[in-house]
């Protein structure tokens, strides 16, 4: 039955294996979503607003892996060894997550988050290159949808698990659980994911940020991913403010935060598969337009239930953007440059994850609703960019 399901969506066994491995490491990473703001309060400097410290700490991680991804993507292209990069990144993330147990100052937290960013920079471009190389255009949307769906399962479970462990057993238990899950992901990659056979044809070796790889809408897709991620990541920096306004605990925030990923995991695979059939671009544009009101609503919720509903609405919208966008990038990627080209979208996503909390932490000082209104505007800008600058490729060819 499982094999029939995978075949129906054009998902091969290697893609399924990589997706399951990424589910485990997504759980390990997302445990920290609800833990980091609380840990910052424990170690914070009284003279600096907590929201700004949280935004900075979350953003360091995003900025580091955004900056490094072109280099790690290019190296994985040149060496043609995707698996080694994925394993190395997971191991770095596991070690850095475990290091939270020894942090005694905000500076220590910055160093740890920097190492975690390095780990993600090693892992993500290589994983996306495996997906681009191992799929065809006719099934790539479904494969990307399956991959991102399982990652979303991990991201949905992680905050819930992190909130539960912190409330019941303290910070250390959450850090140990995150470390263990990252190690599980590395073990799964070691046994289930294999590098593709060495290329026998002559392949162009591209330079880092080679201009020949920046055409055909790749950069604009990266910008759209940046705007999307900025909008939905704003909430992460304002956990303490939400908890105070709504009179909820870390577990309540974790439930609401996870609603986005639960919604994405429901809709990601169908949207990805539909994009195989009718095209990527219309779905991406519709998703960005829908994300605007979903983001604005976050500034006006008055209960945990409303917050959960708004996040679920965001999840529906982002499900229509992410898998089709990555699939579209795979459609137009060039042989020998997949790692760099796919990393442009991952860079946009990572930079958005980094920028969103800083925008939220800064603007919320003026007015709580303001960052979410700005986020809504960014989504509409993203829809306009995709409409005007991103082409829909011809579906007749079948590369990958």
Q: How confident is the model over 96-137, as pLDDT tens digits?
A: 989 988 888 888 888 998 998 899 889 888 888 877 776 766
C-alpha span between 153 and 172 (Å, rounded): 23
Q: Mean pLDDT over all residues of the chain?
A: 81
Q: Is the pLDDT of residue 43 over 80?
A: no
pTM above 0.75, yes or no: no
Residue-level pLDDT at 23: 78
Share of the chain above pLDDT 70, in %: 85
CA–CA distances in Å: residue 121 to residues 107, 305, 321, 351, 396: 21, 35, 22, 12, 33
C-alpha to C-alpha distance for 58 and 40, rounded to whole angstroms: 11
Q: Work out the average pLDDT over 298-318.
A: 93
The answer to whether residue 350 scores a pLDDT higher than 70 is: yes
Q: Quickly tell me which residue has 């591209």 as its tokens.
A: 206
pLDDT greater than 90 at residue 371: yes
For position 200, what pLDDT does the model report? 45
Residue 59 has pLDDT above 80, yes or no: no
User: What integer is the mean pLDDT of 222-241?
Assistant: 89
Residues 6+ apart with CB under 8 A from 341: 73, 132, 213, 218, 329, 332, 333, 334
The arithmetic mean of pLDDT across residues 141-155, rounded, is 76
pLDDT reading at 397 higher than 50:
no
The residues, ordered by sequence, that sit 6+ positions from 74 with a Cβ below 8 Å of its Cβ are 206, 207, 208, 339, 340
For the record, the structure tokens of 188 come out as 């799964």
pLDDT tens figures, 161-187: 888 888 888 888 888 888 888 888 888
- For the chain, list the domains and their CATH numbers: 9-194+211-389 (1.20.1250.20)
């Amino acid at each position: 039955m499982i094999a029939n399901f995978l075949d129906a969506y054009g998902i091969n066994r290697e893609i399924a294996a990589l997706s399951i491995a990424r589910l485990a490491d997504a759980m390990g990473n997302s445990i920290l979503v609800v833990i980091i703001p609380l840990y910052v309060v424990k170690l914070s400097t009284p003279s600096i607003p907590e929201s700004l410290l949280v935004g900075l700490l979350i953003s360091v991680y995003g900025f580091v892996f955004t900056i490094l991804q072109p280099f790690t993507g290019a190296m994985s292209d040149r060496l043609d060894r995707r698996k080694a990069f994925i394993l190395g990144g997971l191991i770095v993330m596991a070690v850095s997550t475990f290091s939270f147990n020894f942090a005694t100052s905000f500076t220590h937290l910055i160093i740890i988050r920097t190492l975690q960013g390095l780990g993600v920079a090693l892992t993500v471009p290589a994983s996306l290159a495996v997906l681009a190389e191992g799929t065809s255009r006719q099934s790539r949307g479904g494969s990307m949808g399956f991959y991102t769906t399982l990652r979303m399962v991990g991201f949905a479970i992680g905050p819930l698990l992190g909130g539960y462990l912190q409330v019941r057993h303290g910070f250390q238990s959450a850090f140990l659980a995150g470390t263990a899950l990252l190690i599980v992901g590395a073990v799964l990659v070691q046994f289930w994911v294999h590098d593709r056979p060495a290329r026998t044809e002559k392949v162009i070796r591209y330079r880092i940020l080679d201009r020949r790889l920046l055409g055909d809408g790749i950069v604009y897709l990266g910008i759209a991913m940046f705007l999307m991620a900025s909008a939905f990541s704003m909430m992460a920096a304002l956990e303490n403010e939400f908890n105070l306004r709504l009179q909820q605990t870390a577990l309540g925030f974790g439930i609401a935060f996870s609603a986005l990923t639960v919604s994405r995991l429901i809709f990601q695979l169908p949207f990805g598969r539909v994009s195989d059939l009718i095209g990527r671009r219309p779905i991406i544009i519709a998703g960005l337009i829908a994300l605007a009101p979903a983001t604005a609503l976050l500034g006006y919720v008055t209960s945990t239930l409303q917050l959960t509903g708004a996040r679920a609405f965001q999840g529906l919208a982002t499900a229509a953007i992410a898998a089709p966008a990555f699939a579209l990038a795979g459609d137009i990627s060039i042989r020998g440059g997949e790692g760099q080209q796919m990393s442009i979208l991952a860079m946009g996503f990572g930079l958005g994850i980094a920028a969103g909390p800083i925008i939220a932490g800064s603007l919320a000082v003026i007015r709580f609703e303001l960052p979410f209104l700005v986020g809504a505007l960014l989504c509409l800008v993203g829809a306009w960019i995709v409409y005007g600058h991103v082409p829909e490729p011809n579906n007749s060819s079948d590369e990958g």
